[in-house]
Amino acid sequence: MDTGHHLKEQEPPHKAAIKLRNPIDTGHHLKEQEPPHKAAVEVVLVPLPAQGHLNQLIHLSRLISERGITVHIVGSVTHNRQARNRLHGWDPSTISNIHFHDFSLPSFPAPPADPDASNKWPIHLLPTFEATINFREPLAQLLHSLSLTAKRVAVVHDSLMNFAAEEASSIPNGESYCFNSCSAIFTLFYEWGSLGKPSNPYIESLNISPINQSSQDIVPDGFLKFILQQKEQSRFDAGKIYNTCRRIEGKFVDILGREPFFEENKKQWAFGPLNPVMLHSNSAGGESSRHKCLEWLDAQPNSSVLYVSFGTMTSVSDKQIEEIAFGLEKCKQRFVWALRDADRGDIYSNQDQVRRIELPEGYEKRVKGVGMIVRDWAPQLGILAHPSTGGFLSHCGWNSCIESISMGVPIATCPMHSDQPSNALLVTEVLKIGVVVREWEHRGEVTSSTTIASPIRKLMASEEGKNMRKRAEELGAAVR
């Protein structure tokens, strides 16, 4: 799927089209004498029904399908619809060998997130995750059916959907791979911590101090049982897949392949970035017209706009929203703010109960022309790829980090939970393409507008920020 010819000639070099390399190449294994009805490989993707996880695996489906391999994506009606509706950069309906399988789920609670919770981990999504065990039987039926007509059935499942690995092992020509939706740096430090942080010369040679996170920050008690249920079934996997690449995290991936982290007879691969690294200038996930924020960006100077988004799994308190608003106003920089509450387990139900986040009185009028508030779904890839975007104020979810890096955009970090503090460390201390907005140690406090405005000014309007942007652009080019 080559859309590079649609890019505008006047785009700066860091946003130029670079031909996407497809990291999965199994086409040459097809034997000429195979009967045409006998597929060499069919791939089944089993994502966790949360936006960041859905998004990464649906992007992987494109890379596989482009090699002539049929891909089956399994999920509920609701979450398959969510994955398709929110996708940017390409349209799955235009690719004939990608098939969505809608599995039914029993009714499950879909409560809102608590914006005032001290721990921002999205525990409100746990009922959704627990309901996915109902995918097991229909998945088994699908795998059995595919095994009758394919030489090999390869299952790629989210690291929190490990029951799929056991089902893959039940068919004679099945194999499974665990997809890790987090960064390699987080995975390394998490696994090292779980082993008791033994002396390790390779980790010590990194000269990086891991983020000091409690177990509750990473896996709250309410979620621990779900994690442990998954762990045992991981023994069926042939290996792990990461959404990263050597230019971003090579040193961390290499250490994960050494004692005591590697698992005997298992392999690991880095297939990243999974998101498209070149976009149609009008790309909006299959929509017939461009999003209004992209049209607004068209009128702004190159690298002058800060994109603001805190992802789909975190709910920010009213007081913190107010400080962010005032901070953006104080820093006097152009911005696009994707202002939405965290997703529920079912984003299409109870729409009348969705929290509308209020801004200070008169705020949108005061910032008109300088800032744009987007309350619907924002085309993040398109925003990050736009020449006018010069920075990203982010929660540092791995999806957001990998998209921003691949588009050459530096990041102002404000991590909320799980792998995000480690991702922020990667951005600021390892890659040196970002600034810290809020230190992880102060996560339980409301960050003031002044504290927010200062690093944004540094990123967007200082010589130091210009150098960060240059490093981000060079890294983005190398990654692409």
Which residues participate in catalysis according to the annotation? 53, 158
**Closest by Cα among 283, 248, 260 to 6:** 283
- Tokens 């460390």 belong to 425
The residue behind tokens 């505008």 is: 8
Of 322, 370, 364, 315, the C-alpha closest to 340 is 315
Number of other CB atoms surrounding residue 141 within 10 Å: 12
The angle, 0 to 180 degrees and rounded to 10, between the axes of the packed helices 463-479 and 449-461 is 70
Cis peptide before 260 (omega within 30 of 0): yes
**Residue 78 and residue 99: Cα distance in Å, rounded?**
15
User: Phi, psi at residue 430, to the nearest 5°?
Assistant: -95, -55
β-sheet bridge partners, residue 154: 43, 175
How many Cβ atoms are within 10 Å of 36's Cβ, its own excluded?
A: 5
Q: Which helix (H) or strand (E) holds 307?
A: strand 305-309
How many whole angstroms from its chain centre is CA 350? 26
* Residue pair 37/149 in contact by the 8 Å Cβ criterion: yes
Query: What gap in Å lies between CA 396 and CA 164, rounded to an integer?
Result: 28
Angle between helices 184-194 and 246-256 (to 10 degrees): 20
Q: Which residues pair with 336 in a beta bridge?
A: 307, 372
372 strand-pairing partners: 336
